[in-house]
Structure 1
Amino acid sequence: MSEQEEGMTLVNHLGELRRRLVAVLVVLLLGLIGGLFISDPIYQYLITYGPLPGIELHALTLWDGLGMYMKIALIFSLVITLPFTAYQIWKFVSPGLTPSEQKATVRYIPFVLLLFLLGIAFSYKILLPMATSFTSSINQNLGLVETYGMAQYFTFMFNLILPVSLLFELPVVVMFLTKLRILNPLRLRKMRRISYFILVFIAVFVTPPDFISDILVTIPLILLYEFSVFLSSVVYRKQLEETEEYESRYVKIDAGEKV
């Protein structure tokens, strides 16, 4: 391939990538607009059934109410956009995959949404109550009057929910990269110490500063990583079987031609 043809190919790939990024941004914007219409019922649910039911929030600036609506709409938009983004990534890399790999990887897309929702449920039902209970107990021990600003409360909530929810995408990402032969279980096992350190750091960063909270969040993250290694080994084993089958078939054909 000449340098001119390589340059044209690169330009075509960049143009394709730009079109898919624009499509993702359009869906994100539409989801954000749609999220604004359902922000109020979601807000009422979070206040009524949240970790601090009946909490009284205060607007400390004129923009707090609007900021709260935008945060909720952004979460809603991410939920809508994630599977579409995964589909656009698949469409971008699919021309370089075999037909069997295309069929196998497209099945991962629904799990992107499922795992993200599981991450939201875990962080909202388990992590957030644990964090608010700990911080509230500290305030009460100090004899402080708890007065919560709306912006601070929802910032605290979403700063816990979003990172953990995104980490729940790890199994799908690992399986996808394994299918593309970028990752494999051997490499993941070699990276286990570094990965554990990163997961522990994330757990310590997003949880209250006490040992029990760190452990309760670290254990699910480590189990999630090990589950990802297991899924990677399943995909990798199938790849080896397909390679062996192809090679054995090629040897038989080659031997028949020689005869």
Structure 2
Amino acid sequence: MSILDKFLAKRAHGNPNGEMIFMDHIEALRWHIVRSLVVIIIAGIVAFFNIEFIFDKIILGPANKDFIAYKWFCGLGRLLHIDALCMDPVTVQFQNTELSGQFMMSFSASFMIGFIVAFPYVFWEFWRFTRPALTDKELKHTRGIVFWASALFLIGVAFSYFIIAPFTINFFATYKLSPQFDNIITISNYYDTMSDLVFGMGIVFELPILVYILAKIGILTPKMMRDNRRYAIVIIMVLAAIITPPDWFSIFLVAIPLVMLYEAGIVISARLTKEREKKANETLPW
């Protein structure tokens, strides 16, 4: 029996009408998706009617020389005597190169903000769909998963916005191949960079949840994660180098929390493996 078959069988077990056919599961999943989209759209509509404030104060915030994160870093730099933390103010020039570019971007930005705001509800809907497939003991061990998944996602978003984005924008906005070139950045390019950073780190911070799920079904083990730690660190460093400016401080700034998340995953996997072995020993006839 495949993992999907086991999941469907377990989910049907909690159904008072007996075993659910495959299309029943699809129909249930469809309504979970529909409700999630409705909440995202509602949050997006609210964002759309406030899009000018959102763009000026939030999305363009890291490109503003008065952005609060610059002040935090500068204060920390003075405290630690690290001059690199105190970045020079940068003035970013933006331009729009498409006739409908700004109008269409207002929709895209509204959807992005709507998804971020609605993420706890979206994950809750996903959890409602998968919950019937779990046993009472499994439900006990997954208590608070909606809170932790939402918290990790929002922490990743905040980490990207307040930590990574200022370094990234400051570096690329001031980098020049020649004094003859001026950096006049298209607003679509800036927005794409910001959305990739924010969503990317939000998803990456879900690593402990992913490890929990994979360890629960026996795909990941603590030994496997420990044995492949060196490769994971290399991958993390490469990932950090891709999404940050090419300086070691920025790379380590991103890599350190990702390594910590990986180590947290090892702890989670070890705990689940220990519980699984204990349960197996209790079922032995001797």
Matched, 1:113 2:125: no
Structure 1 residue ranges without an equivalent (≥5)? 1-5, 252-259
TM-score of the aligned structures, taking structure 1 as reference length: 0.78
Secondary structure at the counterpart of residue 139 of structure 1:
coil
Deviation of 1:112 (Å): 1.8
Q: Which runs of 5+ in 2 are unaligned?
A: 1-8, 10-18, 66-90
Deviation of the 1:155 alpha carbon = 1.7
Higher helix share: 1
Q: Give the share of equivalent positions with the same residue, in percent.
A: 27
Is this contact kept in 1: 2:92–2:184, CA < 8 A? no
Alignment correspondent of 1:25: 37
Amino acid at match of 1:160: L
Tell me which residue corresponds to 1:187. 224
Alpha-carbon offset, residue 211 of structure 1:
4.4
- CA–CA separation in structure 2 for the residues paired with 1:191 and 1:183: 11
**The residue matched to 1:78 in structure 2 has which SS?**
helix
Name the residue aligned to 2:4.
Answer: none
For 2:151 and 2:50, the matched residues in 1 are separated by 21
> 28, 43, 62: which is aligned to 1:16?
28
* CA apart distance, 1:193: 4.4
Q: Displacement, 1:167? A: 0.3
Matched residues in 1 for 2:169 and 2:269: separation? 36
Task: Provide the rounded CA distance (Å) in 1 between the counterparts of 2:41 and 2:256.
Answer: 36
Change over 3 Å in CA distance of 1:190–1:21 after alignment to 2 = farther
Q: Which residue of 1 aligns with 2:72?
A: none
How many equivalent pairs are there? 244
Q: Distance in 2 between matches of 1:64 and 1:81?
A: 25
Residue pair 2:47, 2:54 contacting (<8 A) in 1 also? no
Given the alignment, which residue of 40, 47, 56 partners 1:44?
A: 56
Relative distance call for 1:15 and 1:149 in structure 2 (3 A) is same
CA gap 1:195/1:88 in 2 versus in 1, 3 angstroms: farther
Is 2:283 aligned against 1:247? yes
Q: RMSD over aligned Cα, in angstroms?
A: 3.0
CA distance in 1, matches of 2:59, 2:215: 42
Secondary structure (helix, strand or coil) at the match of 1:57 reads strand
C-alpha separation in 1, matches of 2:211 and 2:56: 37
Residue pairs, 1:69-218, within 5 angstroms:
69-139=106-176, 142-218=179-255
2:38 is aligned with what amino acid?
A: V
1:236 aligned onto 2:248: no
Q: Residue 175 of structure 1: CA displacement?
A: 2.2
Equivalent in the alignment of 1:254 = none
Contact 2:63 2:92 in 1 (8 A): no
* C-alpha deviation, 1:170, in angstroms: 0.9
Q: Is the 8 A contact 1:90 1:106 kept in 2?
A: no
Q: Distance in 1 between matches of 2:271 and 2:20?
A: 38
Q: Whole-Å Cα distance in 2 between the matches of residues 104 and 85 of structure 1?
A: 21
Q: How far apart are 1:146 and its partner, in Å?
A: 2.9
Paired with 1:140 and 1:96, the residues of 2 have a C-alpha distance of: 57
- 1:240 is displaced (CA, Å) by 3.8
Structure 1's 20 and 138: CA in aligned 2 closer, same or farther, altered over 3 A?
Answer: same
| Distance apart, 1:23 and its partner CA | 2.9
Q: 1:104 to 1:77 in 2, by over 3 A?
A: farther
**Partner secondary structure for residue 142 of structure 1:** coil
What's the CA shift for 1:124?
1.6
